[in-house]
Amino acid sequence: MEIKFIILIITSFKKRNFMAEEKSKKLRLFIGSCVEFPIVEKDNIAKLCEHFPCPIKFIEKPNIHLTWKFIGEIEAEKLDEVQNIIEEIIEKKFDILINFKKFEIWPSEKRPSLLVLIGKDLNGSATKLHQKLDKKLEKLKITREKRNFLPHITVARFKLKQRPVEKFIIPEWLLFDEINVKFSKLSIFQCTSTEKGSIYTPLKSFDI
């Protein structure tokens, strides 16, 4: 009888510890929209790899997205609160239209890290959505952005081992056919790091 009682206590203790660990688990999240239109043609990908004096890691097609709000590490139990905030914000629909037409190197040509496609918010709705997410999510202790919102899509990452001697210049032949894109969905994505790179998994999607 005593042995069974001790086993019951130990089992109960382990179960509580497991539940506590699950509850305290953290997720790395961001709010974004998938991008389905082609950005860089296959032939140009090969040419860019030859053009720049360092390895380039192009973002895989399933991972290409526009970020509305980076959340970062957050407790798993707060996921429902994030979802509720988004649902509250999108009760009023957003007419989001973004114009994409040029590439840039970020943060600068002297300190290249990312190749990005820059967008322009044509009617202010994209900026308004970002600002509302930024403000409302602050109550979950998610840091607000310090920079103004600039719609962009990360295309590739430069794998530099040291700062380059010369500026990285985007070649004249790398052109993007100007396009206006209407965004009507956003998702909460979980970012998982693996040996082969990051995997972005949509946890919940919303019509905006």
Distance CA 75, CA 62 (A): 26
Whether residue 8 lies inside any domain: the answer is no
203 in Cβ contact with 189 (< 8 Å): yes
Please state whether the peptide bond connecting residue 107 to the residue before it is cis, i.e. omega within 30 degrees of 0. Answer: yes
Whether residue 1 lies inside any domain: the answer is no
Whether residue 10 lies inside any domain: the answer is no
Whether residue 141 lies inside any domain: the answer is yes
Nearest in space to 145 (alpha carbons), one of 154, 155, 135: 135
Query: Residue 73's domain spans which residues?
Result: 25-207
What is the reported pLDDT for 194? 86
Q: How many domains does the chain have?
A: 1
What is the reported pLDDT for 106? 98
Predicted TM-score (pTM) of the model is 0.85
What is the reported pLDDT for 24? 61
Q: What are phi and psi of 184, to 5 degrees?
A: -120, 0
Instruction: Return the CATH number at 125.
Output: 3.90.1140.10
Whether residue 105 lies inside any domain: the answer is yes
pLDDT digits (tens, 9 = 90+) for 37-85: 999 999 999 999 999 999 999 999 999 999 999 999 999 999 999 999 9
Query: Token pair for residue 38?
Result: 């082609």
Instruction: Identify the segments of the chain with pLDDT beneath 50.
Output: 1, 4-15, 17-22
